Amino acid sequence: MTILVATMKDAVTGTLAALLLMLTGCGAPPTPPGPVALTDRITAVVAAEHLGPAFAAYSAAVADSRAAVPIGATLHYRATSTRRLWSASVTYGPSTPLITGNCEALSTEAPQPTCHWQGGVRIAWFTGTGPLYLTSARREGFVNIEVANLTREADPGKGSGHVPIEQLVALASDPRLDATTDATLAVRAAAYPGWTEDPGCAHAATIGPIPLPTTSGPATESISPQAIAAVVASHVAGACAADWNPVDPGPIGGMVYTSPGKEWVAAYFTTDDHYARCGTVVDCTSSDGVTMSYWFGADETQQSHLRLVRRVGFDYLVVDEASLGVDPRTRVFPVPLSVLNDVFSDPHLTHAVDPALNEAGDRLAICWRLLGDTGE
């Protein structure tokens, strides 16, 4: 009997001890973290959930000159052979009068935006290919989205282009885009892939030439702007690369900046035959289907150009070097003519390529310029 009582005492004591541990927090379920302040990277995480993984993202404050810079991020989506690049800037904070209001006329003089409401989100735009603006009110401030270079019909409410309007409306309405948000997003934001603090490549080091990978597969893909830039970078050392023509969906090409600023080598395909004609260009020759021309700037602040042009299918391939301070008497450019000829004759510069070449362009080990500023 004594042993049984002792055993019962031990059981009760153990139960009380367990209850005490629970009451004091030991062994209790973790308390969910409270809300955290919205950040630029958290904004990028939420935006990518709606729009898809971006090639790169950076703080929206980098290119914003306003005194009260809002919180937010700009996401860039790369071009393909058939689709121009586009970007979405998503911010939380104050909104400009241009993209708020009840869709009434703002002025009898300024261009008037086309505007309508969808799901409580204001949608406005000016031209068929200009920026698209979405605004969604919060208790304090607004969520503002500016989509640049988005191909669409005259009425974006019909849903055309690279991203359906419904996805943009859902992003603008997402309750996580507010002054405070879900703390679990902070962990994902810390490891957000593709985040850059130098979208203009102002601090990029010169590297290269970068060898291309061996390609042996069938040419089943149209060449991308990134692949063209990779071909140029395999011959020319540079500080950064960029899409040759990020706005006009016509000429497709890539370029490598040989120095920060206005000096570069580009290769691009175009249907414009004026590149292949000497016309009024004084220093120009055409021989065996190749046109070579020089154009010199009036002083050291203006670019001088050396261009090589030949027919490729129904298009023209142009290899173009732009440099400052070139002496018209010597016609010596920083990148020698022999190197430009190597780019010009590279067999990779064709319309249909091995997918490995496009992949090499997407993974090019050189800073990709996302802004117009390259430290010039």
8 A C-beta contact, residue 337 and residue 222: no
User: Which is nearest to 283 in space by CA: 257, 267, 307?
Assistant: 307
8 A C-beta contact, residue 75 and residue 88: yes
Tell me how crowded residue 245 is: count the other CB atoms within 10 A of its CB.
Answer: 20
**What torsion do the CA atoms of 113, 118, 121, 125 make, to the nearest 10 degrees?**
-20
Cα(243)–Cα(267) distance, rounded to whole angstroms? 10
Q: What percent of the chain has pLDDT over 70?
A: 79
8 A C-beta contact, residue 230 and residue 254: yes
pLDDT at 153 over 70: no
Average pLDDT over residues 124-133: 74
User: Which is nearest to 265 in space by CA: 287, 295, 298, 240?
Assistant: 240
> Domain coordinates of the chain in residue numbers?
36-103+110-190, 221-362
Tell me how crowded residue 67 is: count the other CB atoms within 10 A of its CB.
Answer: 5
Cα(232)–Cα(93) distance, rounded to whole angstroms? 41
CA distance to 56, 257, 260, 361, 374, per residue, from 367 (Å) = 11, 10, 12, 12, 11
Statement: 221-362 belongs to CATH 3.40.1000: yes
Encode pLDDT of 106-122 as tens digits: 555 455 667 888 999 99
User: Which residue is associated with the tokens 């120095």?
Assistant: 259
Of the pLDDT bands very low, low, confident and very high (cuts 50, 70, 90), residue 20 is very low
- Rounded to the nearest integer, the mean pLDDT of the chain is 82
For CA atoms 326, 327, 329, 330, give the dihedral sign: negative
Average pLDDT over residues 44-56: 95
Encode pLDDT of 303-362 as tens digits: 999 999 999 988 999 999 999 989 999 999 999 999 999 999 999 999 899 999 998 998
Q: pTM of whole model > 0.85?
A: no
Encode pLDDT of 254-283 as tens digits: 999 998 778 999 999 998 888 888 877 678
SS3 250: coil
Q: Is the peptide bond before 209 cis (omega within 30 degrees of 0)?
A: yes
8 A C-beta contact, residue 163 and residue 134: no
Average pLDDT over residues 8-36: 52
Cα(325)–Cα(329) distance, rounded to whole angstroms? 12
